Amino acid sequence: MIIIQEKNIEQIPILEIVQEENKDKMIPTVVCYHGWTGSKENCIHYGAMLAKNGMRAILPDQLYHGERKTSELNGFELWEIIGQNVKEFPTLVGAYQKENLVDNKIGAIGFSMGGMTTYALLKHFPFLYAAVSLMGNADPVEFAKWSLTSTWMKDKPAVELTPDLMDKYIPMLQSLSLADNPETIAGRPVLIWHGLEDKKVPYALNRAFYEKIKDEPYAGRVKWIETPDVPHFVTFKAIEASVEFLKESLVEE
């Protein structure tokens, strides 16, 4: 039987999803990150599939989302939210480590904004054992430049990329950029998936990152999957592949 519990970890609202017989056991644990304007409830199907395969799923509401929503979003909060996810990740994991419910088998999965978060976590936390990024982006600087003339700016005032603006935001973006330090992957299992017709988080930027790293020794366990004719949407087959990948990496390894 799968159980879903609402919890609050240091002011972070989460859902925990786990098989009842594993509730008090030390088992692999995966933090699942939703996308832009989503909520933890959007990840319940991921969490249930992870639980059925022997893992515990932690589904947080990200800053300004779900129970933490304070106002309508305008798009410019994206990197603040991802940065906050990075700050909160060890808090979430640490809460379960204190209860002896997880050892070193710690994973992360996310889609869109959550997929960008997964990349940033790989850069910052060597203890992250395995990760999945679904339609994410590992290069915040290039993505930010692209976004200024993209669908993200629809109905928003034009933004000129001035030197002052670059000086203000580039350091923060670089701090979240796995593309700047891809060697921090360090041989860990990483699955990357993207739909070829994605117009919101461009396939081309993500593919360029993969091409840059794929032959490097540190990326020997990085796996790429792409799906033709798919826009900014995660297919069920991609979800299945993600769960199987995390099962192989965290449960069976």
Q: Is a pLDDT exceeding 60 seen at residue 158?
A: no
Q: Is a pLDDT exceeding 70 seen at residue 154?
A: no
∠234-235-241 over CA atoms, to 5°? 100
Structural domain of 29: 2-251
* pLDDT value for 170: 84
Q: What is the CATH number of the domain that holds 107?
A: 3.40.50.1820
* pLDDT value for 147: 78
pLDDT band at 238 (very low <50, low <70, confident <90, very high): very high
74 C-beta neighbours (distance < 10 Å), count: 10
Task: Render pLDDT for 174-222 as a digit per residue (tens, 0 to 9).
Answer: 999 999 999 999 999 999 999 999 999 999 999 999 999 999 999 999 9
How many structural domains is the chain composed of? 1
Across 94-112, average pLDDT: 97
Task: Render pLDDT for 6-47 as a digit per residue (tens, 0 to 9).
Answer: 999 999 999 999 999 999 999 999 999 999 989 999 999 999
Across the strands, what pairs with 110? 33, 133
Considering only residues 54 and 144, tell me which one the structure prediction assigns the higher pLDDT: 54
The order of strands in the sheet holding 130-134 is: 2-9, 12-19, 56-60, 29-33, 106-111, 130-134, 190-195, 222-227
d(CA 182, CA 92): 24
d(CA 161, CA 212): 26
* pLDDT value for 77: 84
In sequence order, which ranges of 177-221 are alpha helices (DSSP H)?
A: 203-213
* pLDDT value for 8: 97
pLDDT band at 144 (very low <50, low <70, confident <90, very high): confident
Closest CA to 16 of 63, 57, 67: 57
- Per DSSP, the chain holds a count of helices (H) and strands (E) of 7, 8
* 245 phi and psi angles, rounded to 5 deg: -60, -45
